Structure 1
Amino acid sequence: MTLAHLHRPLGNTGLQVSPLGLGTVKIGRNQGVKYPSGFDLPDDGQVRDLLALARELGINLLDTAPAYGTSEERLGPLLQGQRQDWVLCTKVGEEFVDGQSRFDFSAAHTRFSVQRSLQRLHTDYLDLVLVHSSGDDLTALEDEVYPALQQLKQEGLIRAFGFSGKTVAGGVQALRDGDCAMVTWNLREQAERPVLDYAADHGKGILVKKALASGHICLEGEDPLTAGFELVFSHPAVSSAIIGTINPLHLRQNVTTVAGILERRTAGTAD
Structure 2
Amino acid sequence: MTARALGRSGVSVGPLSFGAAAIGNLFTAVTDEQAARAVHTALAHGYRHFDTAPHYGLGLSERRLGAALRDHPRDAYTLATKVGRLLVEDGRPGPDDQGFAVPATHRRVWDFSADGVRRSLEASLQRLGTDRIDLVHLHDPDDHADQALREAYPALERLRGEGVIGAIGIGMNQAALPARFVRDTDVDAVLLAGRYTLLDHSGLDVLLPLAHERGVGVLVGGVFNSGLLADPRPGATFDYAAAPAELLDRALRLEDACEQHGVPLRAAALHFPFGHPAVVSVLVGARSAAEVRDAAAMLDRPVPAALWNGLRERGLLPAHVPVPAPTG
* TM-score between both structures, scaled by the size of structure 2: 0.71
> Please, which of 227, 237, 244 is the counterpart of residue 215 of structure 1?
227
> Does structure 2 conserve the Cα–Cα contact (< 8 Å) formed by 1:21 and 1:241?
yes
Which whole-Å deviations, capped at 9, do the CAs of 1:131-172 have from their partners, x for residues lacking one? Answer: 111423633533410001011111211000111134433112
Which position in structure 1 is the counterpart of 2:75?
A: 84
Which position in structure 1 is the counterpart of 2:236?
A: none
Which position in structure 2 is the counterpart of 1:148?
A: 155
Of residues 9-18 and 171-180 in structure 1, the stretch that sits farther from structure 2 once superposed is 9-18
- Tell me how many residue pairs correspond in the alignment: 257
1:105, distance to aligned residue in structure 2 (A): 0.5
Which position in structure 1 is the counterpart of 2:266?
A: 225
> Does structure 1 conserve the Cα–Cα contact (< 8 Å) formed by 2:159 and 2:165?
yes
Task: Point out which structure has higher relative CO (alpha carbons under 8 A, 6+ apart).
Answer: 1
CA distance in 2, matches of 1:62, 1:49: 14
CA distance in 1, matches of 2:191, 2:2: 20
Which position in structure 2 is the counterpart of 1:12?
A: 8
1:18, distance to aligned residue in structure 2 (A): 1.5
Which position in structure 2 is the counterpart of 1:127?
A: 134
CA distance in 2, matches of 1:146, 1:103: 15
CA distance in 1, matches of 2:299, 2:290: 14
1:48, distance to aligned residue in structure 2 (A): 2.0
- After the TM superposition, which residues 23-42 of structure 1 pair with which residues of structure 2 at under 5 Å, given as runs? 23-30=19-26, 38-41=27-30
Question: Larger Cα Rg: Structure 1 or Structure 2?
Answer: 2
Indicate whether 1:73 and 2:63 are aligned. Answer: yes
RMSD (Å) for aligned C-alpha atoms: 2.5
* TM-score between both structures, scaled by the size of structure 1: 0.85
Which whole-Å deviations, capped at 9, do the CAs of 1:57-91 have from their partners, x for residues lacking one? Answer: 11110000000021112222222232222200000
1:263, distance to aligned residue in structure 2 (A): 11
Change over 3 Å in CA distance of 1:263–1:129 after alignment to 2: farther
Which whole-Å deviations, capped at 9, do the CAs of 1:20-74 have from their partners, x for residues lacking one? Answer: 11111111133xxxxxxx5322x22222221221111111100000000211122
1:241, distance to aligned residue in structure 2 (A): 1.1
CA distance in 2, matches of 1:25, 1:215: 15
Which position in structure 2 is the counterpart of 1:99?
A: 97
Indicate whether 1:115 and 2:129 are aligned. Answer: no
1:209, distance to aligned residue in structure 2 (A): 1.5
Which position in structure 2 is the counterpart of 1:21?
A: 17
Secondary structure, in 3 states, of the residue corresponding to 1:53?
helix
Name the % identity.
33
CA distance in 2, matches of 1:263, 1:53: 28
